[in-house]
Structure 1
Amino acid sequence: MTVEIGVEEIEDIALGATVLGTGGGGDPHVGKLVAKQAIEEFGPVELVHPDELSDDAFVVPTAQMGAPTVSVEKLPSGQEAVDSLERIERELDQEVDATMPIECGGINSTFPFAVAARRGLPVVDADGMGRAFPELHHETFNIYGVSGTPAAVSDERGNTCLIETEDNEQLEWLARGVTVRMGGVAYVSDYPMTGTQVKDTAIPGTMTLARNLGRELRVAEDDAMDAIRDVTRSSIYGEAQSLFEGKIVDVQRRTEHGFVFGHVDVDGLGRDEGSSMRIEFQNENLGAQVDGEYVATVPDLITVLDRETGGPIPTESLRYGARVRVLGIKTPEIMRTPAALDVWGPHSFGLETTYKPLEG
C-alpha cells in the first residue's frame, strides 16, 4: 500500500534506520535535514512496496558513499545524488520511475527521499542490505544477479563520473577511488534495474520497519529495548536481544581508503560486570566479542544504544565514558544464504571466526 512520507515520517525513519544501520550508513542527522528541506520545498514523497511496481519499471537507487566522519564536515545540498541519477538517465536514454535506498542505515535511508522530492519520484520500500555495509558490492542486488553499472558518482562541485565495469567488485574499487579524489565523500546512483529485479533481489519493507522503530522509540515511556523488541518481533528480522551493557573505556578510529576503521572497548556493568566487550567496525559494526569470544558478527545487526536514553549511537559518535547497551538483531533469511555469506560473512571482513547466526 502506498503511503505518504512527510517531515514527521522522515524523523521516524532516520531514528529507526540508525538502529538498523549498525552504527553506519552516514550521519542520520545530515540525511534527515536534507530530506526534510527537500520535502518542505517540493512536497511529500510516496513510499511504494516493491509489489506495487510494474515489472518493467525503471528503478535507480541513490546513496552517499565515503567516510561517515567526512560527511559531517562536508554537508550536502541534496542535488548531488540527483546529478548522478540524471547522468544514468542520459546514459541509458530512459527516465527513472522510482528511486530506493541501497542500504537501511543513517543518511542512506533518508537521502533517497531528498532525491525523490526534488524529482517528483516515489521511493521503493526496500533496500539491498537490510542494514548498512561499507562497500557497493555488499548488496543483495549483486548477490542475486543485478549489474551495478552503469553507475555515476557526483560531488558537491558539480563533477560527475560515469563508471562501467565487468563486475560489481570493480565498481566498488573504482567508485571508492573516485570518492577519495572527490574529498572522501560522494553521491552515487548504481544498480539500475527493472521492477521485476527489485522484487526478486531487494529486502522488502525496510523503510516501513525503520519508520515503525523510530515512532515507537520516540513515544516509548519506559525501556527503549522493549520498544525495539516489540517492532522487530513482528518483522522479517528476528526479535532484538540484549548482548551486553557497560561503559566505553576506549575508542580507536582511523580513516583510510575512504573508510573509518576501528574498535570500541566496553567494560561491563550490572549483569555484565567483570566482563568486557570489543566491537570491531569498518564504518559499520562488524563483530562483537565478550571476553575474547564472538557473540555476534555480520551479517546480523550489532547496534549500540545509549543506556540511559535508549537512543542509537553511530560509530562516529561513540565516546569514552558513555554508558551503553549493545543489542543484536537477526537478519532476514535472504541475507544468510551461502551466496550472501560469501560476500558479507565474517571472513570477508577479516574477522577470525565462522558465522554463528543470532536467533530471535
Structure 2
Amino acid sequence: MRWLTEEDIEHIAVGATVLGTGGGGDPYIGKMMALSAIKKYGPVQVITLDELTDDQWVLPASGMGSPSVLVEKIPSFEQLEAPLKAFENACGRKTDVVMPIEIGGVNSLIPVAVAAMNNIPILDGDAMGRAFPEAQMVTFHLDGLKPELVTIGDEQGNVVTIQPADGYWSEKLSRNVTISMGGSSIVCDYGITGKQAKESVIPGTLSLAQEIGALLKEQRQAEVHPITQMVKKLNGYLLFKGKAMLIQRKIEGGFTRGESNFDGIDFFQGKGCKLHFQNEHLLAEVEGKPVAMAPDLIAVLDEETGMPITTEGLKYGARVAIVAFPANEKWRTDIGIKTAGPRYFKYPYDYIPLETLVKEQRAND
C-alpha cells in the first residue's frame, strides 16, 4: 500500500493521457478534481490486486460522454458522490475499493476524488489498459461478466439506475441517458468482488501512468528525447512526425468524432497522415495505408516536449509525434478484436497487429 502525493497525481494525469489515446478527458480537469478532493477530504491510499481480499467489493467510477462537453461541465463533489451512493443503495453492499474503468486524463483521477470523499482506497489497475469510447469495451465484458447494475448522475442532481441485459445494452442505455443529461455524466458500473477483479483487471496501470508522466515531466537530457524513452518503455513505435493541418470534429451520438490530417516533417517530409477518432484515436493511416489500429494504442504528442495532446485539444499548426503501442494481450483475442477492433468501428480493415503494420511500412520506405 502507498499514499498518493500531489506529485503522483500530476504524473498520473500526464501518463494517463498518453495511455488514454487522445480520450479519457482533459488531464488538467482530472488533476484539479483529484487534488481538490484530497485537500478537502484527506489523502488516498493505492492498493494492488495482490492486496485485495476475494470478498472485497470493488466499484469503478468514471465520466461518460463527449470530452468536449466535460470541459464545459466540470463535475461537482455532489455529482461524483451520487452514483456511488445510488449503487450501494441498489445492491445493498458498501464499496470497499474504487477503481478506474479506463486509463485517461480524467477517468484515471475521478476515482481518486471518489476515494478521498469516501475514505477508501483506489485500485492500481483498470479494465481497458487504455481508454475506449464505449461501455462494453472492458475486460469484464471479455471475461463474460455483465454490468448487472449501472448508476448515472448529472450536475442537476438527477440519478438514473438501470439493470442492463449485457454490456452492449449498458452502453446504449447509459449513452442515451448521458445525452439527455447534456452530454456528460458520472457513472458507476461493473461492481465486482476482489476475486473477480484479480481475474479481469489489468494490473498496475495507475503506476504505469505515473511512471510515464514522471518521465515526460523530467528535465530531458539533450541526447535522449523523452518520446524516445517512453516509446522504448512501452515497446512502441514512432509512426509519424508532422504538422496538424485539417482537423474535423463534431459531437455526434454522445461522442466527439472526427479526423485529423497532418503534413510530414523531418524524415516524413512529403507524406501525409490521417487519424480517425471517436473520443479516442482508433486508426492511423500514412499515405492512405493503415499503420496502427484499435485495439492497439495511438497517441499524439507534442514534438518538442513529448506531452500528450487530446483529441479535443489538438490545434491547427501543432507539430506532433504520432506514436503507437501494443494493446494488452486480452484485446488481441478473438473477442477483444470483435469488441474493439477496426471492423466494430466500421473501418474497412481486419485487425493487423501494430508490429506487423510497422514492419510493412518500414519495408516500403
Corresponding letter in the other structure for 1:227 = Q
Q: TM-score, normalised by structure 2?
A: 0.95
Per-residue deviation at 1:358? 1.8
Structure 1 residues 146 and 220: alpha-carbon distance in aligned structure 2, compared to 1, 3 A threshold: farther
Unmatched runs of 5 consecutive residues or more in structure 1: 233-238
Per-residue deviation at 1:114? 0.2
Q: How does 1:208-287 map to 2 (within 5 A)?
A: 208-222=207-221, 223-232=225-234, 239-287=235-283
The total of aligned residue pairs comes to: 353
The residue that corresponds to 1:108 in the other structure is 107
SS of aligned partner of 1:353: coil
SS of aligned partner of 1:105: coil
The residue that corresponds to 1:352 in the other structure is 348
Per-residue deviation at 1:78? 3.1
Corresponding letter in the other structure for 1:287 = L
The residue that corresponds to 1:185 in the other structure is 184
- When structure 1 is superposed on structure 2, of 137-146 and 58-67 the one drifting more is 137-146
The residue that corresponds to 1:236 in the other structure is none
For residues 112 and 336 of structure 1, the distance between their equivalents in structure 2, rounded to whole angstroms, comes to: 27
Per-residue deviation at 1:81? 2.7
For residues 297 and 199 of structure 1, the distance between their equivalents in structure 2, rounded to whole angstroms, comes to: 28
Per-residue deviation at 1:230? 4.6
Cα pair 2:25 2:104 within 8 Å, conserved: yes
Cα pair 1:146 1:193 within 8 Å, conserved: no
Equivalent residue for 1:343, pick from 339, 343, 347: 339
The residue that corresponds to 1:172 in the other structure is 171
**2:90 equivalent to 1:88:** no
The residue that corresponds to 2:68 in the other structure is 69
For residues 88 and 94 of structure 2, the distance between their equivalents in structure 1, rounded to whole angstroms, comes to: 6
SS of aligned partner of 1:316: coil
**2:308 equivalent to 1:315:** no
Cα pair 2:37 2:113 within 8 Å, conserved: yes
Per-residue deviation at 1:227? 2.9
Cα pair 2:294 2:342 within 8 Å, conserved: yes
Structure 1 residues 76 and 265: alpha-carbon distance in aligned structure 2, compared to 1, 3 A threshold: same
The residue that corresponds to 2:361 in the other structure is none
- After superposition, what is the alpha-carbon deviation per residue over 1:316-353, rounded to whole angstroms, capped at 9, x for unaligned? 01111111100011112122111111100110111111
The residue that corresponds to 1:196 in the other structure is 195
Cα pair 1:212 1:231 within 8 Å, conserved: no
- After superposition, what is the alpha-carbon deviation per residue over 1:108-130, rounded to whole angstroms, capped at 9, x for unaligned? 01110000000001111111111
For residues 336 and 351 of structure 1, the distance between their equivalents in structure 2, rounded to whole angstroms, comes to: 17
Corresponding letter in the other structure for 2:80 = A
Per-residue deviation at 1:220? 3.9
Corresponding letter in the other structure for 2:88 = E
The residue that corresponds to 1:159 in the other structure is 158
- When structure 1 is superposed on structure 2, of 13-22 and 45-54 the one drifting more is 45-54
The residue that corresponds to 2:129 in the other structure is 130
Per-residue deviation at 1:202? 1.0
**2:58 equivalent to 1:56:** no
Moved over 4 A (4+): none
The residue that corresponds to 1:38 in the other structure is 37
Corresponding letter in the other structure for 1:225 = I
For residues 286 and 86 of structure 1, the distance between their equivalents in structure 2, rounded to whole angstroms, comes to: 34
Cα pair 2:275 2:281 within 8 Å, conserved: yes
Cα pair 2:41 2:117 within 8 Å, conserved: yes
Cα pair 1:82 1:115 within 8 Å, conserved: yes
- After superposition, what is the alpha-carbon deviation per residue over 1:86-132, rounded to whole angstroms, capped at 9, x for unaligned? 11110111111001000011200111000000000111111111100
The residue that corresponds to 1:235 in the other structure is none
The residue that corresponds to 2:363 in the other structure is none
- Percent identity between matched residues is 43
The residue that corresponds to 2:326 in the other structure is 330
Equivalent residue for 2:299, pick from 298, 303, 308: 303
Cα pair 1:342 1:348 within 8 Å, conserved: yes
Per-residue deviation at 1:149? 2.5
The residue that corresponds to 2:146 in the other structure is 147
SS of aligned partner of 2:68: helix
Corresponding letter in the other structure for 1:113 = V
